[in-house]
Chain A
């Protein structure tokens, strides 16, 4: 069935390095994507979003890239810090749901930042 998934379940990086977290989706009807960060014992926290009419969006230290041709989404974190250690989820909102935004979450990637 259609799903959102991540390529790497765990990513370990050194402090100061750039991190790239990847996500594949298969629902071509999805028109809106969000990256969330979830720290231990907390709920997911919005990081950045992108609509299907864009291929790149930048925030503070984060960039999301969307490649609709291959249905691939990535989150780039610049100068990764220990505080970035968390599980990162991509989520899609299939346009067919319409009306309300109800994200479909992928499995998640655990980012571990070593000082």
Chain B
């Protein structure tokens, strides 16, 4: 039982490059989330998926797209990376939209030069 897994763990991109961050959970959770964490800013919600087949914007969605591939997987795509997107990205899941308890993955540290 791995919980929430994320790949890759580290990534360096050049400005304008694209990439997809992968997230998977094995807890049979319905809801999944993507956050970014920046020094002095705390965790900020980028996108979330309340259930399979739905996605919605969070606090800071600009520059990102997401795909809820199936119940287990939720990916985050940067189409044209910018230095402002340098951050640590966390994926999380919860049982459903009424559950307050989130389970986080280990994070992806992304640097955009």
Q: Decide whether A and B are members of one complex.
A: no
Residues of A in contact with B (beta carbons under 8 Å apart): none
B residues neighboring A (CB under 8 Å): none
